[in-house]
Structure 1
């Protein structure tokens, strides 16, 4: 039970008791209310009487109320086990998107907003930002185009793009394919994974089914000794959602058409205009410079990996059925083997020190110390007490979900901060990657009262078994830190309007706070404090460990210094290839969104472009290298690339440009003393608290005390000049 002072948050947690019919009814109710607010403003306010208070403020307050319910309505499609509920959530999101398009193209409302802007009222900075952003949004949503066929076409495009986005993500979430393998074909794959896979019957008797979910996919690509198995897994994963291929093509064509209707040269120019980069050329120059700097390192890394591959095959007395090349399906396997052979890095051994639950506890402790927070897990009777119905199950969407109330520590005033949810294991129909979802944003209501945020981490880590808890590979620890970083940004943000809350920043900054926190996963003292060997968790686990390892005694409770040194020594091994992979995504994104003409994008073979660019940039061979006709259409990776449909279009470069800012912040402020609580709190209040309520470049300059620099980023990658 939680301590008394933490048992009564100022705000009840959200409920997850919706039914398919209630989702649709609630959605229609929200839309009707918003429409009546807008209609009322237009009816009652003449342009000469328009002010921020009687035009913008009522709409902003309605947006606040809308967000409190609408985010959760759309969330069900990512996490519910009930197909009907997921379908209703998808339908509701389409209704909300269509209404959003209708609202964004109301010329009568825009005329009032324009009148307010022209009056140049004296407003607080966040309200001024809201006014300017809203005014620009109306223009970017077609109201700068004369009423008539062009504007009507623009509206049609917006609606269709919304439909595509929803269906594309639904296809990814509900993908449930897989491959049947014999146990021999999965030789080398960790035994506990193989044991957990579905056993075949009938025509698949004696086989086991490998899915494309991350806990199955990545270990197989890393450990399967059979090159044919790895190739099959890799290629079929690239083709797991081919129903998205025509949707992706339609989306890039429609985006280009819409941008040209608005007077932009292409979609990239339209999208980047209001980001930190401002111009596509800035992005292209950044990506091009990085590619030039990284390419030689990539070539050197491939040479070493090919030598390792030859040595490995010779030692095993085998030949690669695909010849002497270095292939896309080889890389995770030989990257892992190099870490083990050259750096004595056993990822399985390291994972033993990072059971999921103790790692989360350690992580939260780090954030408590850095940012002045307290995380209190809500369990048992406390859940029942917080639920209005008295049923604790009403405040989570699945029995596996953990929920925490989050508070300021005494130094920060001991107030309530919000709710954090963790949904960590895969299940059918669930969002398949790792992401942070805002469930309810924070804001100040019309009575001056603060409404508190709720945020959820949705991940897909391996489930515990009777003999082992869920154990995290180091890269999964990094993923957890990254997503929890978004969650912290969401929790500690304090803005007047929900529009600017938390991670509602420009896309080429939003990853920076999370990326910065990844550095704590490479700091010896933090790795030690996070670690806790799983054999110490229970007598049963201790017994199972001794049995599996044929060990006579338990290992050290904390990860040994030698393992930490080995791990940290690998931070930049094959780093050029890793970043060239990111560049492939970023440059492909810009290629399809930055055509010289609409005819160019109409004639573009998108799958061929995706695969050719990957070969040119990453320098790794695909199946085309084995085909005498050089067929580049062997895979459709873009159809599995949810980011480019879900908001990172002409913005994927942001993962790399944000890395520039995150590395600069870490090197400048935290590298000398990562657990400096004074600086952590300054970071919380200067950067995280602001959300998107202030120009992101100003936020950075306030924190750094100067303009950001690429120096630390290039130094970290070892490519500084």
Structure 2
């Protein structure tokens, strides 16, 4: 998942630290490291030396932005107008992104609370900016004059105008006021949805302790024993990561059932939150002249319309259905064989467990053996080696200045090229802890932009994961799914670090929804290729290179249930489209609607009383845009085949990926980048929108 501010609109559609906020000294700290006795603020921002520094951070951002707004009428040249607009966006979004990252990762409650307050206050100010007619008039003037020094500047003017109008600035005062109210309501509901997931993950108690396999007991909380030296049972918090482990490893079907039901019924409060969110988004879209939020959200994307998205999803569903049904039958037959129940029903909590068994037996896989070849530090070394091979750039450890980090386990890296110098900075926050964002994600802290002909503001990003273990621990080993996730998020980070755009509005991952996941999906391929894995995957104790036979087994196992996984993503996308699509006149039951879609497109049952979508955060961050993952899978498949498959580690492949793709961020049309990189067969144009070619992906999956 990508938490860059590309996921927002208007002035919060981009961000980068403005010099007046981050200061030259802050930039110098990031670039050159610590000096004796120096102390920094959080993320290197001097203003964030204390939690209450977020208040000053907001106030200074507003003061600087108001100064730029007041100067706007005096600016004449299009280039000056666009540059000032980008600095305003840069200024406020530094606060937005820093606060968002802080509230998701900081262990100190005071910092979290101050970040929350800062987020609310700066977002309220952003609404004022997005409805400021002085700024809107300046952008209209710049776009109309068409006197742009570069194509990126021209695209910038158009993008800003579209963003303004997405905020409703062109509407009458009454409608604009309501749009502002709805945007504020949507932001608050989105925050409430996410906070509910973190606060109320659900839990079950399991007795006796022997019902939980030894290999996952370390992530469970033991219930105090009555007899010394013996564990009575386990208190299991059904957060997504723990629930995944339970469903994968626990043989006891009743434990899996209880955990599945509780985990997919929490938090119950989000049923109401999602209903209110749907209603608010729908009203917003109607005011904006759209029939649905899906129409409002997709019209600026590559797809351009919900009809194109729906057609793409249904086509893919039909292609995958036959093989997915065959896979369902194979899982059901295995369950019946294992349990002796010849008429046994395959339940939702059975899938992960029995697919794991079938993969292990069919392809001679022992997941503990696989994980033994992926110590976390070696995986990080492998990523560094990959970047060196492809791009000629090197990651270096950077000492953290006191006050800069939010947790002792955080590591900071600098990406440096021998000809270009520093390219950007990457924080790694990889280990699980209480109160931390529960998944894996890429967060933008500061975007890149050109400050002058000689100076470039370097991007700062962070990767957040929740791996078991502690920093430097010999026990910190990844299963292959975790390795793939690490490579995925690293793809997002490289998109941010390697882009070189004039405006931070287009920096890195700040692209349209249905293009943003493409680099991340492309880098997943590297986690499956033996030519790549043999460069770093070594046994934690013997140092032996991972056997090629084992990697082949992993790839075969991946293909075994690839249709089922693809079908799941299709269903998630269809559900996302349906929830935010055209609304009925009366009240509807979203749980029944989701159940109906699942029945239409798969063989799987729905467990009554569960509502997994109440912690499906993509409904918040990617509302009406979850299909973008499938777009990305198709695009990445075509790029891999055209550019990387023959020699995945070649500098020639890296040069193409960087110069024709990552370098441009959102500064060029995605379709143009894709066609230049992988050829015109990578997509097709229809009804004013872009649809990815699915043939390469289907070929990979033997569909």
| Aligned positions of 1:83-162 closer than 5 A | 83-147=109-173, 149-162=174-187
| Aligned positions of 1:198-597 closer than 5 A | 198-201=221-224, 206-314=232-340, 324-378=344-398, 382-383=399-400, 392-408=401-417, 410=418, 413-445=419-451, 449-464=455-470, 469-536=475-542, 557-595=544-582
Distance 1:185 1:243, change over 3 A: farther
Describe the SS at the equivalent of 1:20: coil
The aligned residue for residue 35 of structure 1 is 66
Measured in 2, the distance between the counterparts of 1:157 and 1:68 equals 24
Measured in 2, the distance between the counterparts of 1:92 and 1:21 equals 10
The farther-off stretch of 68-77 and 691-700 is 68-77
* 1:184 Cα deviation after fit: 4.8
Measured in 2, the distance between the counterparts of 1:120 and 1:311 equals 70
Describe the SS at the equivalent of 1:242: coil
Distance 1:483 1:183, change over 3 A: farther
Q: Deviations for 1:203-244, whole angstroms, at most 9, x for unmatched residues? A: 998221222345422221111111111111111111222222
Distance 1:15 1:265, change over 3 A: same
Measured in 1, the distance between the counterparts of 2:471 and 2:143 equals 61
Q: Deviations for 1:667-688, whole angstroms, at most 9, x for unmatched residues? A: 1111111111112122111100
Instruction: Work out whether residues 64 and 91 of structure 2, in 8 Å CA contact, stay in contact via their aligned partners in 1.
Output: no
The farther-off stretch of 173-182 and 395-404 is 173-182
Measured in 1, the distance between the counterparts of 2:150 and 2:509 equals 21
Q: Deviations for 1:415-459, whole angstroms, at most 9, x for unmatched residues? A: 111111111111111111100001111111257521101111000
Describe the SS at the equivalent of 1:594: coil
The aligned residue for residue 620 of structure 1 is 604
Is 1:645 equivalent to 2:620 in the alignment?
yes
Q: Deviations for 1:351-384, whole angstroms, at most 9, x for unmatched residues? A: 1111111111112211211121101122xxx44x
Measured in 2, the distance between the counterparts of 1:334 and 1:569 equals 16
The aligned residue for residue 542 of structure 1 is none
Q: Deviations for 1:515-570, whole angstroms, at most 9, x for unmatched residues? A: 1111112212222223111124xxxxxxxxxxxxxxxxxxx611223222211221
| Aligned positions of 1:64-75 closer than 5 A | 64-75=90-101
* 1:62 Cα deviation after fit: 2.9
Distance 1:579 1:203, change over 3 A: farther
* 1:587 Cα deviation after fit: 0.1
The aligned residue for residue 605 of structure 1 is 589
Q: Structure 1 residue aligned with 2:661, among 650, 674, 687? A: 687
Instruction: Work out whether residues 371 and 680 of structure 1, in 8 Å CA contact, stay in contact via their aligned partners in 2.
Output: yes
Q: Deviations for 1:639-696, whole angstroms, at most 9, x for unmatched residues? A: 10111112x1111000001111100000111111111111212211110010001111
Instruction: Work out whether residues 69 and 440 of structure 1, in 8 Å CA contact, stay in contact via their aligned partners in 2.
Output: no
Distance 1:462 1:34, change over 3 A: same
Measured in 2, the distance between the counterparts of 1:511 and 1:255 equals 23
The aligned residue for residue 24 of structure 1 is 55
* 1:202 Cα deviation after fit: 8.5
Measured in 2, the distance between the counterparts of 1:176 and 1:256 equals 28
Rg larger in 1 or in 2? 1
The aligned residue for residue 688 of structure 2 is none
Describe the SS at the equivalent of 2:469: coil
Distance 1:329 1:362, change over 3 A: same
Measured in 2, the distance between the counterparts of 1:244 and 1:701 equals 42
Is 1:56 equivalent to 2:82 in the alignment?
yes
Measured in 2, the distance between the counterparts of 1:28 and 1:225 equals 55
Q: Structure 2 residue aligned with 1:165, among 190, 195, 200? A: 190
TM-score, normalised to structure 2, is 0.89
Instruction: Work out whether residues 201 and 263 of structure 2, in 8 Å CA contact, stay in contact via their aligned partners in 1.
Output: no
The CA RMSD measured in Å over matched residues stands at 2.3
The farther-off stretch of 167-176 and 299-308 is 167-176
* 1:477 Cα deviation after fit: 0.7
Instruction: Work out whether residues 215 and 462 of structure 1, in 8 Å CA contact, stay in contact via their aligned partners in 2.
Output: no
* 1:143 Cα deviation after fit: 2.0
The farther-off stretch of 331-340 and 205-214 is 205-214
Is 1:194 equivalent to 2:225 in the alignment?
no
* 1:467 Cα deviation after fit: 8.9
Measured in 2, the distance between the counterparts of 1:162 and 1:70 equals 12
Unaligned runs of 5+ residues in structure 2 are 1-27, 34-39, 684-692
Describe the SS at the equivalent of 2:195: helix
Describe the SS at the equivalent of 1:345: coil
* 1:502 Cα deviation after fit: 0.4
Measured in 2, the distance between the counterparts of 1:274 and 1:680 equals 30
Distance 1:654 1:196, change over 3 A: closer
* 1:572 Cα deviation after fit: 0.9
Describe the SS at the equivalent of 2:291: coil
The aligned residue for residue 630 of structure 1 is none
Instruction: Work out whether residues 425 and 463 of structure 1, in 8 Å CA contact, stay in contact via their aligned partners in 2.
Output: yes
Measured in 2, the distance between the counterparts of 1:565 and 1:133 equals 46
Is 1:717 equivalent to 2:692 in the alignment?
no
Instruction: Work out whether residues 515 and 659 of structure 1, in 8 Å CA contact, stay in contact via their aligned partners in 2.
Output: yes
Measured in 2, the distance between the counterparts of 1:40 and 1:612 equals 56
Distance 1:618 1:32, change over 3 A: farther
Instruction: Work out whether residues 201 and 237 of structure 2, in 8 Å CA contact, stay in contact via their aligned partners in 1.
Output: yes
Count of matched residue pairs: 653
Measured in 2, the distance between the counterparts of 1:509 and 1:435 equals 17
Is 1:15 equivalent to 2:44 in the alignment?
yes
Measured in 2, the distance between the counterparts of 1:521 and 1:564 equals 10
The aligned residue for residue 671 of structure 1 is 645
Instruction: Work out whether residues 378 and 536 of structure 2, in 8 Å CA contact, stay in contact via their aligned partners in 1.
Output: yes
Describe the SS at the equivalent of 2:483: helix
Instruction: Work out whether residues 202 and 267 of structure 2, in 8 Å CA contact, stay in contact via their aligned partners in 1.
Output: no
The farther-off stretch of 441-450 and 669-678 is 441-450
Measured in 1, the distance between the counterparts of 2:81 and 2:471 equals 57
Measured in 2, the distance between the counterparts of 1:171 and 1:428 equals 15
* 1:608 Cα deviation after fit: 2.3
* 1:327 Cα deviation after fit: 1.2
The aligned residue for residue 106 of structure 2 is 80
Unaligned runs of 5+ residues in structure 1 are 1-6, 384-391, 537-555, 625-633
Instruction: Work out whether residues 90 and 166 of structure 1, in 8 Å CA contact, stay in contact via their aligned partners in 2.
Output: no
Instruction: Work out whether residues 215 and 461 of structure 1, in 8 Å CA contact, stay in contact via their aligned partners in 2.
Output: no
Measured in 1, the distance between the counterparts of 2:646 and 2:473 equals 40
